[in-house]
């Protein structure tokens, strides 16, 4: 059987070499899907979008300056404010360069000081949807801050302004410091009420862990996607062999049909290794991953590919028609891809789904491969999982061989 297997493997590799399109598709589709998904999700470490707010201060008083300063505070990280003359602000808003333009009218400082109404004008960019709303909401909060500030430290500010000789006077450094301390104190006291966090995020950072590029998270899933496509596609060859009559001829050969099947799986392991090598090499090059783990990663993928192939072959042989086999293997492959982390890495999935995914054959393989690529595990630590994978493969091979020799190969 072993010699028969070797010859059958050579024969299947030769047949596969005559069909380069299949190989190209098994490689190309996962690369394309991976590229699209990565583009769609962008980089996980990228800063969130900020609303660009142009501020035209027509008042020019130190209170309006103070208000503009509030807009630039670190706590308001969703806003990127820039002070501009009114004409330039309108022009740039028209050109779509900003999310909104805030106009502080002349007399704003006096109105605050005297606790009389004043109107701030916010012109938003209709071409944007979310960012102008962020600017609007933030401004609403700041107006409240000013209102409370006036109530709490209004007298102090009025005293300082009187000492300065009016709002138009240029305050000394000492006066600026006094006002700033007063305002800052008020802001600190009210910010927890006025700027409550919409989402409470508890971020724990592992100082040992390096920052991870999102593409690295996708790479193992994409490799497994290629392997599942390959396993699903090549498993259909069982039906082709049957329709060509070669399975029946092999039954009468000394090596038997088991040798032919073993050869097909050996060829499959080689093809899976080649697919993995190409994808992993591209990934390692572009993502600057360690080259030293590449050989072990390829061996892991080759064995995984072989196990997936024998599983899919068994499913094909359990069905009654080629069409049923094709539908069933695809019906199994696509949920496996989804749950197993090929379309979305486990890190981006809901916890429950990610936990389920780790129990799928491809999901488990993806997790091991990811740990290897990110050097969370040493290559030698993969030996036990590799032996486990081989054991599963041998069990599946025994079951599939039985189905093949007892039923599938003998049917006409």
Partner 1 sequence: MIDVERLEKHYGSFVAVDDVSFTAAPGEIFGLLGPNGAGKSTTIGCISGLLEPTAGRVRVLGKDVVVERRAAREQLGVVPQEMALYEDLSATENLRFWGAAYGLRGSTLTTRVRDVLATTGLADRAKEPVSQYSGGMKRRINFGCAIVHRPKVVLLDEPTVGVDPQSRVRLFEMVKTLVADGTTVLYTTHYMEEAEQLCDRLAIIDRGKLIANGTLEELRGQVGERDLLQLTGHFDAAAVEQALGAVDDVEVVQVEPDALRLALRDASSRLPALFDALTTAGSEIRQTTLTEPSLETLFIKLTGKELRE
DSSP 345-374: -GGGS-HHHHHHHTTSHHHHHHHHHHHHHT
Site size for partner 1, by CB under 8 A?
24
Locus of tokens 């086999």: 325
Task: Figure out which of the listed residues 83, 90, 158, 248 binds partner 1, where binding follows CB under 8 A.
Answer: 248
Residue 254 CA from chain centroid, whole number:
52
Q: Is residue 7 close enough to count as binding partner 1 by CB under 8 A?
A: yes
Binding-site string for partner 1 from residue 8 to residue 37, where x marks contact by CB under 8 A and - marks none: x--x--xx--xx------------------
C-beta closer to partner 1: residue 11 or 83:
11
C-beta closer to partner 1: residue 143 or 253:
253
**Segment interacting with partner 1, rule: CB under 8 A, options 166-174, 247-255, 270-278, 283-291:** 247-255
Other C-beta atoms within 10 Å of 92: how many?
A: 17
Task: Figure out which of the listed residues 245, 290, 295, 350 binds partner 1, where binding follows CB under 8 A.
Answer: 245
**Segment interacting with partner 1, rule: CB under 8 A, options 150-158, 181-189, 240-248, 291-299:** 240-248
Residues 249-288 within binding reach of partner 1 (CB under 8 A): 249-255, 259-260
Q: What is the largest CA-CA distance in the chain?
A: 111
- Smallest gap from residue 255 Cβ to partner 1 (A): 6
Distance CA 233, CA 26 (A): 8
C-beta closer to partner 1: residue 249 or 323:
249
- Smallest gap from residue 250 Cβ to partner 1 (A): 7
- Smallest gap from residue 261 Cβ to partner 1 (A): 13
C-beta closer to partner 1: residue 252 or 321:
252
The SS3 assignment for 54 reads strand
The SS3 assignment for 123 reads strand
User: Residues 6 or more apart from 280 whose CB is under 8 A from it?
Assistant: 219, 223, 294, 297, 298, 301
C-beta closer to partner 1: residue 251 or 318:
251
Local structure of residue 326 (DSSP, 8 states): H
> Which of 325, 317, 315, 309 lies closest to 408 in space, CA to CA?
317
Other C-beta atoms within 10 Å of 145: how many?
A: 18
Q: Is residue 301 close enough to count as binding partner 1 by CB under 8 A?
A: no
- Smallest gap from residue 20 Cβ to partner 1 (A): 12
Angle between helices 322-339 and 361-373 (to 10 degrees): 40
C-beta closer to partner 1: residue 131 or 266:
266
- Smallest gap from residue 319 Cβ to partner 1 (A): 21
- Smallest gap from residue 230 Cβ to partner 1 (A): 18
CA-only gyration radius of the chain, Å = 33
C-beta closer to partner 1: residue 7 or 91:
7
Local structure of residue 404 (DSSP, 8 states): I
User: Residues 6 or more apart from 222 whose CB is under 8 A from it?
Assistant: 30, 31, 33, 34, 279, 283, 342
Task: Figure out which of the listed residues 116, 203, 321, 412 binds partner 1, where binding follows CB under 8 A.
Answer: 412
Angle between helices 237-244 and 322-339 (to 10 degrees): 170
Task: Figure out which of the listed residues 140, 189, 292, 410 binds partner 1, where binding follows CB under 8 A.
Answer: 410
- Smallest gap from residue 410 Cβ to partner 1 (A): 6
Task: Figure out which of the listed residues 169, 244, 327, 387 binds partner 1, where binding follows CB under 8 A.
Answer: 244
- Smallest gap from residue 24 Cβ to partner 1 (A): 17
Distance CA 215, CA 325 (A): 34
Span between the terminal Cα atoms of the chain, in Å: 23
- Smallest gap from residue 267 Cβ to partner 1 (A): 13
Other C-beta atoms within 10 Å of 257: how many?
A: 25
Task: Figure out which of the listed residues 38, 246, 330, 377 binds partner 1, where binding follows CB under 8 A.
Answer: 246
Q: Contact positions toward partner 1, by CB under 8 A?
A: 3-4, 7-8, 11, 14-15, 18-19, 244-246, 248-255, 259-260, 410, 412
């Amino acid at each position: 059987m072993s010699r028969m297997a070797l010859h059958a493997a050579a024969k299947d590799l030769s047949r596969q070499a005559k069909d380069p399109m299949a190989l190209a598709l098994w490689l190309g589709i996962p690369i394309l899907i991976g590229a699209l998904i990565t583009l769609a999700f962008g980089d996980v470490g990228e800063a969130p979008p900020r609303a660009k707010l142009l501020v035209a201060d027509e008042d020019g008083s130190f209170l309006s300056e103070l208000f503009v300063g509030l807009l630039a505070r670190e706590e308001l990280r969703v806003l990127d404010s820039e002070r501009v003359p009114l004409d330039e602000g309108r022009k740039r808003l028209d050109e779509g360069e900003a999310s909104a333009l805030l106009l502080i009218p002349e007399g704003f400082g006096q109105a605050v000081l005297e606790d009389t109404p004043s109107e701030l004008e916010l012109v938003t960019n209709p071409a944007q949807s979310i960012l102008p709303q962020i600017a609007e909401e933030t401004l609403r909060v700041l107006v409240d801050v000013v209102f409370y500030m006036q109530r709490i430290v209004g007298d102090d500010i009025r005293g300082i302004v009187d000492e300065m000789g009016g709002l138009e006077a240029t305050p000394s450094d000492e006066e600026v410091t006094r006002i700033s301390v007063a305002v800052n104190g008020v802001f600190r006291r009210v910010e927890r009420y006025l700027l409550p966090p919409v989402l409470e995020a508890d971020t724990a950072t592992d100082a040992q862990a390096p920052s991870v590029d999102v593409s690295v998270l996708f790479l193992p899933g994409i490799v497994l996607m290629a392997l599942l496509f390959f396993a699903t596609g090549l498993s259909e060859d069982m039906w082709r062999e049957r329709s060509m009559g070669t399975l029946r001829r092999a039954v009468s050969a000394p090596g038997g049909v088991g040798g032919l099947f073993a050869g097909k799986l050996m060829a499959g392991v080689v093809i899976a290794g080649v697919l993995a090598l190409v994808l992993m090499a591209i990934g390692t090059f572009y993502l600057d991953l360690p080259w030293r783990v590449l050989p072990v990663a390829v061996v892991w993928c080759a064995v995984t590919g072989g196990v997936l192939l024998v599983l899919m072959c068994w499913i094909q042989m359990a069905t009654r028609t080629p069409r049923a086999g094709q539908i069933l293997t695809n019906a199994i492959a696509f949920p496996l891809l989804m749950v197993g982390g090929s379309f979305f890495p486990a890190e981006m999935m809901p916890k429950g789904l990610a936990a389920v995914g780790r129990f799928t054959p491809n999901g488990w393989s993806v997790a091991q491969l990811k740990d290897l690529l990110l050097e969370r595990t040493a290559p030698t630590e993969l030996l036990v999982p590799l032996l486990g994978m081989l054991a599963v493969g041998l069990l599946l091979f025994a079951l599939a061989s039985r189905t093949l020799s007892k039923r599938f190969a003998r049917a006409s």
